Amino acid sequence: MTDASMQENPEATPHPVSLTAPNERTRKRAKAERRFRAYGIAAVATGLFFLVVLFTSILSEGIPAFTRTVVSVEFTLTEQQREESEAELFKTKAYSNLFISALKTELDERGLNVEINEDAIERLLGKVGGTIRTFYSENPGKLGEPVEFDLAASSRVDGYFKGRVSRDTMQDSRFLEKSDLDLVDALKEAGVIKQAFNWPFITGADSGVDNPGGAGIGASVVGSFFMMLVVLGLSLPIGVAASIYLEEFAPQNRFTDLIEVNISNLAAVPSIVFGILGLAVFIQFMHLPQSAPLVGGLVLTLMTLPTIIISTRASLKAVPPSIRDAALGVGASKMQAVFHHVLPLAAPGILTGTIIGLAQALGETAPLLLIGMVGFVARGYPDGFLAGFTEPNSAMPAQIYTWASRADAAFYEKAWGGIIILLVFLLTMNIIAIILRRRFERRW
């Protein structure tokens, strides 16, 4: 039958005789198809691979920041010992000697005989005497009772436990000597030195450049919190008001067009430019305090506004016109129709957009660099609610950047740990946004 069609068609039929027997060309085409598909799979896989690498390195590098090495020693100070020590010229030294002898006794009891000298203890645990003295002057009632002291080991010792410092690569310095590691090993065998959860990292403030062990992210979390309060308090009402105007009331004219063009362009302006704006307008021109969460919040508000306006307008647009018509039909004014009916129906969408905008603002770093939130070392919590806005403070991403740019590698661990905390906040916010969307999403 192919013959028949051949005779009638002057040209030879170009198609293979049978559908089930692929010819050379179809095979080649099928191969090209498979190759193309493989590129696609490879691209998706590469993207996911990067995601996995990113998260593995965050987790593997950051989790150690949540543990710290402590030496816990049970120690009893009698009234008499205290008085004797207070009479000495070098008071803290006297306390530290008492501590060393207590430690020695404890080690001896367990049958471990190691040389403990005072300098080594100072390299391992810092100024022990001072810590003990402060404790008893604050808690005189504890005199004569056994007290369990959890003393934070120095960051080098911490690094030795976490594998950052090893016997082979380390060099003797005033921070740690090789011989100290023998002592550390002995203490470890005795169970005196151990890993504990690093509460000070979560609750504490930044430490100085040479004390990575004591650095905490707590103060900058507070700084970020105040910034977010400013962002929320300004960008939500302004953003919603602007969106309502543009979506419901704006006449079709040049001015409205100008606003629209501005919003879509601002959404794509690099964040660093907002930092320049903040520096020039808020700090140089309006003389607001540098490094203050208030200024950071203002800058981030301007940055977040376009995002919030765009998402709010989308949710307002999603409310069908029939709702407005219904309200207008019973004699409500346009304003009442919008505020009584449209806005409540759009609220979940607006909220979702706002939370996502806030999450974006929370992770933003570049503008904060310019308004001085990085140079500032937050050493404590603000003094009160209002001071929280105006007192210089750091913010989470700025704090992470500060740690990452310090010379001591021990701070890197803190930076990764800080990122985990930052991501936990972001994740929580995004999950809330997703839940809100799932729960209140309405299909018209």
Partner 1 sequence: MNDMSRVERQVDTNKIKLECRDCQVYYGETHAIKDVNVDIEDKTVTAFIGPSGCGKSTFLRCLNRMNDTIDVARVKGSFKLDGEDIYDKRVDPVQLRAKVGMVFQKPNPFPKSIYDNVAYGPRIHGLARNKAELDEIVEKSLRRGAIWNEVKDRLDAPGTGLSGGQQQRLCIARAVATEPEVLLMDEPCSALDPIATAQVEELIDELRSRYSVVIVTHSMQQAARVSQKTAFFHLGNLVEFGETGQIFTNPEDPRTESYITGRIG
Partner 2 sequence: MPLLWLILIVVAIAAVGYVLGRARALQSAGGDSRGLHSLPTFYGANVALKTAVPAFGLLIVWLLVQPIFVNSQISGMIPDTEVEEGSSRSLVMAEVRRTAYGLENAVAQGNITEDAASNANADIAEVTQSLKDAGQIVTSEITQPILLAAQSYRVMNSGGYSVMSIAVILIALAGAVFSWRQTQSEYRARNVVEQGVRVLLLAAASIAILTTVGIVLSLVFNTWEFFKLYPASDFFFGTTWSPSFSGRGGSSSLGVLPLLWGTLYISIVALLVAVPIGLFAAIYLSEYASPRVRSFAKPMLEVLAGIPTIVYGLFALLTVGPLLLEVFGDDGLGWMKAGTAVMTAGLVMGVMLIPFVSSLSDDIINAVPQAMRDGSYGLGANQSETIRQVVLPAALPGIVGAVLLAASRAIGETMIVVMGAGAAARLSLNPFEAMTTVTAKIVSQLTGDADFASPEALVAFALGMTLFILTLGLNVFALYIVRKYREQYE
Distance from CA of residue 348 to its chain's centroid? Answer: 26
Contacts to partner 2 from residues 313-372, by CB under 8 A: 333-335, 359, 362-366, 369-370, 372
* Cβ at position 211, least distance to partner 2 in Å: 20
* Cβ at position 267, least distance to partner 2 in Å: 9
- The binder of 116, among partner 2, partner 1, none, by C-beta within 5 to 8 A per type, is none
Does 37 participate in binding partner 1 (rule CB under 8 A)?
A: no
Instruction: Compute the distance between CA of residue 395 and CA of residue 296 in angstroms, rounded to an integer.
Output: 9
Does 29 participate in binding partner 1 (rule CB under 8 A)?
A: yes
- The binder of 9, among partner 2, partner 1, none, by C-beta within 5 to 8 A per type, is partner 1
Does 61 participate in binding partner 2 (rule CB under 8 A)?
A: yes
Does 428 participate in binding partner 2 (rule CB under 8 A)?
A: no
Contacts to partner 2 from residues 363-392, by CB under 8 A: 363-366, 369-370, 372, 374-375, 386, 390
* Cβ at position 40, least distance to partner 1 in Å: 17
Does 19 participate in binding partner 1 (rule CB under 8 A)?
A: yes
| Region binding partner 2 by CB under 8 A among candidate stretches 99-107, 117-125, 133-141, 394-402 | 394-402
- The binder of 13, among partner 1, partner 2, none, by C-beta within 5 to 8 A per type, is partner 1
Dihedral (CA of 349, 352, 358, 361) sign: negative
C-beta of 9 vs 169, nearer to partner 1? 9
Number of residues that bind partner 1 (CB under 8 A): 19
Binding site for partner 1 (CB under 8 A): 1-2, 4-5, 8-9, 11, 13-16, 18-20, 22, 25-26, 29-30
